[in-house]
Structure 1
Amino acid sequence: MSTTSESRAAAHASTMDEHAADPTRHFADPGPLGLAAFALTTFLLSLFNAGLAPEALESTVLPLALFYGGLAQLIAGLFEFRKANTFGATAFVSYGSFWLAFAAFVKFVEPGLPSGQATTAAGLFLLGWAIFTGYMMIASLRTTGALIAVFVLLFLTFLLLAIGDLTGTDGIATIGGYVGILTALAAWYASFAVVTNATWGRQVLPTAPR
């Protein structure tokens, strides 16, 4: 066999090995879907938390929380598991579950709580998510600038909302609503950048890779 033939055979074998090692090579990136689902649901709820939308309409968040923020993120997270992305899988499955739990809390738990205790319960709920988001924020420091921005803002959002509910300080919760809007915008940008770059086949929008 000639040297050229041997080189071609070696290259073919290497390609076959790479394909065998990555059975998900034909899978689309689930990240933009998960980020978009998170962004829209967060944006709508944050409008109410910031006092920019009438409180009487807040139940409009629940369908999004169930089917987009919840179900779509869960699906994205499961595909991230399949693609061996530990960070993405942990984030999307967790925040998808957050939105499902939020919908259940508002619909089934909150109405049955003792008078005056609902905000304390909500504060404890949010505090737990602030803790989780805090360590995910640290992990995000090894991802991209776009994701770091999302997790820093999300951590501040949960923390401000939790403090506002636990202390009964509406002003702090309102600030948390505004930070939540910024979080949603950052997540939308991250989704927009990844899906646009993938569709165009080149970098159109920067994500500041680490």
Structure 2
Amino acid sequence: MSDKESQMLNTSQSQERAIDAGCDDLQEDVEHQQVPVSKVFTSGERDEYVMIGRTKVLRSELWNAFGGDLQPGIHAPPPRRFANPAPLGLCGFALTTFVLSMSNARAMGITVANVAVGPAFFYGGIIQLLSGMWEISLDNTFGGTVLSSYGGFWLSWAAIQIDWFGIQRAYDDPIMLNNGLGFFLLGWVIFTLMVLICTVKSTVAFFSLFFFLEMTFLLLTIGEFTRSVGVTRAAGVFGVITSFLGWYNALAGFATRENSYFVATAVPLPGAKRAQVHS
């Protein structure tokens, strides 16, 4: 090989090394640049993965990093896209029932139940009614019917207590008013019995809730028809028990292993076990 050919070969190799070095520097610069993310989408059977650009992460890790949705502790995101509205409705029902029942039981010498009008309108009434509507949007016919109906009960009861509606003033005879209220409560005895029949294949706590509610309405009805203070006070005691059962069922709906050391235990009735086996 001549000197001229050797010189040309060395020059070509030097140029190739320079090009390779330039490409490496360019690649390093590109790797350190902040490339904007243009696509974020989910994957997996339950959308448990989130793709951020070319990075794949678990959705649960993002929930923990961002603090979830105002949940205390580590929050496991539910598989559904809509929160469970039942605990909210049950809490509204339980608190309003507790306040009125303490007055009916004449606890601490209370004989006037007007303090329950506020919760009956807003918490046990409007909030519970909204919870029932949200249950309907989740295709839960039972939950939507029950929560909406008892929300309507509290709204109507509050309307009876307020003078602006003139309902009580329309009755000149107090006995006629008691009988009218008795028929009003009797209707809820019938409705609650229908609901109770639909809970015989559920859990002990859920069935007990509507059983004690049925007894509460029944005693209130008898108390209005007979104008017996003792029966009404007994209804108040049953109502207090009903309210605590309502809170317990609500706790079972939102207390999880992620946010609480205590989780309500669901004890199924015998019918529920048979239905689960045959399904």
| Range class of TM-score, shorter chain | 0.7 to 0.9
1:91 alignment partner, SS class? helix
1:31 aligns with 2:86: yes
Q: Deviation of residue 172 (structure 1)?
A: 1.3
Aligned to 2:180: 121
- 1:7-46 correspondence to structure 2 within 5 Å: 25-46=80-101
Is 1:55 the equivalent of 2:111?
yes
Q: Which residue of 2 aligns with 1:84?
A: 139
Moved more, 90-99 or 116-125: 116-125
Q: Do the aligned partners of 1:190 and 1:207 also contact (CA within 8 Å) in 2?
A: no
Aligned-pair distance for 1:201?
A: 8.7
Quick check: 1:189 aligned with 2:248? yes
1:170 aligned to 220, 225, 229, which one? 229
Q: Which has the higher helix share?
A: 1
Larger Rg: 2
> Hey, which of these two has a bigger chunk of strand by percent?
2
Q: Secondary structure at the match of 2:107?
A: coil
| Cα distance in 1, alignment partners of residues 138 and 90 from structure 2 | 16
Tell me how far 1:143 sits from its aligned partner.
Answer: 2.5
**Displacement of 1:79:** 0.9
Give per-residue Cα distances to partners, 1:29-65, cap 9 Å, x unaligned. 1111011000000000001111115124x21111100
1:55 partner SS? coil
For the structure 1 residues 42 and 201, does the alpha-carbon distance in structure 2 shift closer, same or farther, using more than 3 Å as the test? Answer: closer
Q: Separation in 2 of the partners of 1:143 and 1:114?
A: 46
**Structure 1 counterpart of 2:229, one-letter code:** D
CA distance in 2: counterparts of 1:144 and 1:102, whole angstroms: 29
Whether the 8 Å contact between 2:248 and 2:264 is mirrored in structure 1 is no
Q: In the alignment, is residue 111 of structure 1 matched against residue 169 of structure 2?
A: yes
**Equivalent pair of 1:127/1:159 in contact (CA under 8 Å):** yes
Paired residue for 2:202, among 133, 143, 163? 143
Change in CA separation of 1:154 and 1:40 when aligned onto 2, cut-off 3 Å = same
Q: Which has the larger displacement, 115-124 or 130-139?
A: 115-124
Structure 1 pair 166–205 and aligned structure 2 pair: CA distance change class (3 A)? same
How far apart in 1 are the matches of 2:201 and 2:131? 20
* Number of residues of Structure 1 aligned to a counterpart in Structure 2: 191
Percent identical: 38
Question: Per-residue CA shift, 1:143-191, capped at 9, x if unaligned?
Answer: 3222111100000000011011112222111111110010001101111
Distance 2:213 2:260 in 1: 30
- CA RMSD, aligned part only? 2.2
Partner in structure 1 of residue 214 of structure 2: 155
> Helix, strand or coil for the counterpart of 2:106?
coil
Give unpaired runs (5+ residues) of structure 2.
1-43, 48-78, 273-279
Of the two structures, which has the highest relative contact order with CA contacts closer than 8 Å and spacing of 6 or more?
A: 1
TM-score for both structures, normalised by structure 1: 0.84
